[in-house]
Amino acid sequence: MRRTLLASTLLLALAGAGCQKATDDKAKAGSGTATATGSGTGAATGTGAATGAPVAEARDLDSKDILAREPLTQEAHVKHVLVAWKDLASVYRGQIDPRAKDRSNADAAALAEQVAQTLRSDPKAIDEQVKQHSEDPGSLSGDPYVVTPDARFVPEFKNLAMRLNVDEVGIVKTQFGYHVMIRVTPPPPPPDPLESADILARPAQTDPRDVQHILIGWKDAPMAKKRPPDPRAAARTKEDADKLAVELLAKVRGGADMAKLMKEYSEDPGSKDTGRAYPVSPSAGLVPPFKNLSMRLEIGEAGLVKTDFGWHVIKRIPPPPPDPLESKDILARKVVAEKGKVKHILLGWKEVNAGDPRGKERDRKALEKLVKETVAKLKKGEKIEPLMKELSEDPGSAQSGDSYPYDPNAGLVEPFKQLSMRLELNEVGVVKTDFGIHIIQRVE
């Protein structure tokens, strides 16, 4: 929710400080300019540098390490706790928060540091801390401020906001006090009326699943501005994309062959020509709307969801039968360790490989023999690094013997990650992905 420029009585008092355009700009000022407390009013109302008001002598709590960075984003969503003290009363023109009237700078600095420490321990505590401590009336709504390079915020506030990582906490001092700030994840956009709202309203499931999808873009989709879209999408309006997506959803729900529809219509280069299914789990590295719908679908069910890439017609399919070489007993376990490191040997064969000539020429019988021999060697205690160098078809680790760190959010193919999280230390397991067979050993 965006707040108008004159939302606080304090700002009304400050408006006479020398900016006649404040009222004219109130509709476009957006969140952050509503407050008169330095989180946005300085640039919009003539306070701050425009008024020449000095920052009262205070402790230097500025997060210099963060402020020394180059800006990390062109749009930051932030929340903050403002803490002022009695020496700043003149800046507030008699409208200083009652809590600040009798507070010394030392007490304000101590409170700001206390709030920062609380948020570093638990970023989710920001709303509670704002409600309890913040003296910025505009922050009390719970909505984040949207900070962009041209946003109407006092410079110190904007400089910190644009340099924070998500969930990172920093402090900056302005003429209005100490701002303890945290960058938050932007709220999701409102759902499109065509999305499968009934499915999205269900509780998300946690079991891994496989989905196929058809991607339909349009020329003004957000991602079309960042990378060249499919030629079909480049010539398509949003209205045309809406119509096509609805038609394709009806076909899928009517039993049409999903792989054929993908080949004819989909603009996803990773799956359109192969009918490839994507493995999805709560920790999969997929765009959230895609994952949100996928984690709510029943087997055989299809739905529609929109992302920055376009429309996705998604169908959940039954899991493929496990490869006979896979470690079914390990994969059936609960997660053993969410974080750790693994090393692996990738082996392909004619039908499934990563492009290595050895994999391209190997038949299935030879693959099975090599996998069983290699696993046996590792279980007898042979070191994995020499075997990686000799056999592995993973160009990223074969020669170096490097390990891969894993956790639920690691950018690893899902079956690889699922087996890794279920291995005991030094245990060896086998799993299949689109690249071949992975012989994985957990090393940390």
pLDDT tens-place string over residues 310-366: 999 999 999 889 999 999 999 999 999 999 999 999 999 999 999 999 999 999 999
**pLDDT given at position 151:** 86
Burial 147-162 (b: 16+ CB within 10 A, else e): bbeebbbbebbbbbbb
Looking at the structure, tell me whether residues 266 and 377 fall in a common domain. no
Looking at the structure, tell me whether residues 179 and 214 fall in a common domain. no
Asked whether residue 393 is domain-assigned, the answer is: yes
Determine the distance from the C-alpha atom of residue 311 to the mean position of all C-alpha atoms in its chain, rounded to a whole number: 19
For residue 213, give the H/E element and its range: strand 209-216
**E-assigned strand segments in 298-354:** 302-307, 310-317, 340-347
Looking at the structure, tell me whether residues 174 and 292 fall in a common domain. no
**pLDDT given at position 144:** 95
Rounded distance between C-alpha atoms, residue 281 and residue 279, angstroms: 7
Asked whether residue 322 is domain-assigned, the answer is: no
**pLDDT given at position 56:** 55
**pLDDT given at position 362:** 97
Compute the mean pLDDT over every residue in the chain, rounded to the nearest whole number: 86
Looking at the structure, tell me whether residues 68 and 27 fall in a common domain. yes
Cα-Cα-Cα-Cα dihedral of 233, 238, 243, 248, to 10°?
Answer: 40
For 261, the token pair is 């529809």
Looking at the structure, tell me whether residues 294 and 346 fall in a common domain. no
Q: What is the CA radius of gyration of the chain?
A: 28
| Total structural domains within the chain | 3
Among 3, 11, 308, 28, CA closest to 150: 28
**pLDDT given at position 57:** 65
Range of weakest confidence among 53-57, 275-279, 390-394: 53-57
Assess whether pLDDT exceeds 80 at residue 288. yes
Domain termination residue (choose one: 266, 291, 317): 317
Higher pLDDT, 58 or 5: 58
Looking at the structure, tell me whether residues 171 and 216 fall in a common domain. no
- Edge-to-edge strands of the sheet including 310-317? 278-280, 209-216, 310-317, 302-307
Assess whether pLDDT exceeds 70 at residue 34. no
**pLDDT given at position 74:** 87
Local confidence band at 90 (pLDDT 50, 70, 90 cut-offs): confident
Looking at the structure, tell me whether residues 335 and 307 fall in a common domain. no
Asked whether residue 192 is domain-assigned, the answer is: no
Among 70, 30, 39, 36, CA closest to 180: 39
**pLDDT given at position 15:** 25
Q: Where is mean pLDDT largest: 50-64, 147-161, 381-395?
A: 381-395
> Which residues pair with residue 166 across a beta bridge?
183
Asked whether residue 37 is domain-assigned, the answer is: yes
> What number is the average pLDDT over the span 292-303?
97
The pLDDT tens digits for 37-81 are: 334 433 322 233 333 445 556 899 999 999 999 999 989 999 999
Assess whether pLDDT exceeds 50 at residue 17. no
Other CB atoms within 10 A of residue 133 CB: 17
Looking at the structure, tell me whether residues 45 and 104 fall in a common domain. yes
Local confidence band at 8 (pLDDT 50, 70, 90 cut-offs): very low
**pLDDT given at position 11:** 23
Asked whether residue 203 is domain-assigned, the answer is: no
Question: CATH number of the domain that 67 lies in?
Answer: 3.10.50.40
Asked if residues 296 and 401 have their Cβ atoms less than 8 Å apart, the reply is: no
Compute the 3-state secondary structure of the chain and give helix, strand, coil in percent, each to the nearest 5: 35, 15, 50
Q: For the chain, how long is the longest CA-to-CA vector?
A: 85
> What number is the average pLDDT over the span 129-152?
92
**pLDDT given at position 227:** 81
Looking at the structure, tell me whether residues 305 and 355 fall in a common domain. no
Looking at the structure, tell me whether residues 347 and 311 fall in a common domain. no
Stated pTM of the model:
0.54
Range of the domain at 78: 9-184
Asked whether residue 64 is domain-assigned, the answer is: yes
Range of weakest confidence among 33-37, 141-145, 211-215: 33-37
Residue 423 has, within 13 A of its CA and on its CB side, a CA count of 28
Asked whether residue 197 is domain-assigned, the answer is: no
For 284, the token pair is 């999969």
Local confidence band at 237 (pLDDT 50, 70, 90 cut-offs): very high
Q: What percent of the chain has pLDDT over 90?
A: 74
Asked if residues 115 and 61 have their Cβ atoms less than 8 Å apart, the reply is: no
Looking at the structure, tell me whether residues 311 and 336 fall in a common domain. no
> What number is the average pLDDT over the span 4-25?
26
Looking at the structure, tell me whether residues 338 and 283 fall in a common domain. no
> Which residues pair with residue 432 across a beta bridge?
437
Residue 13, classified by CB atoms within 10 Å of its CB into exposed (0-12), middle (13-18) or buried (19+), is middle
> What number is the average pLDDT over the span 119-133?
97
Gap between the terminal Cα atoms of the chain = 46
Domain termination residue (choose one: 283, 317, 351): 317
Among 353, 359, 347, 344, CA closest to 435: 353
Domain termination residue (choose one: 136, 152, 184): 184
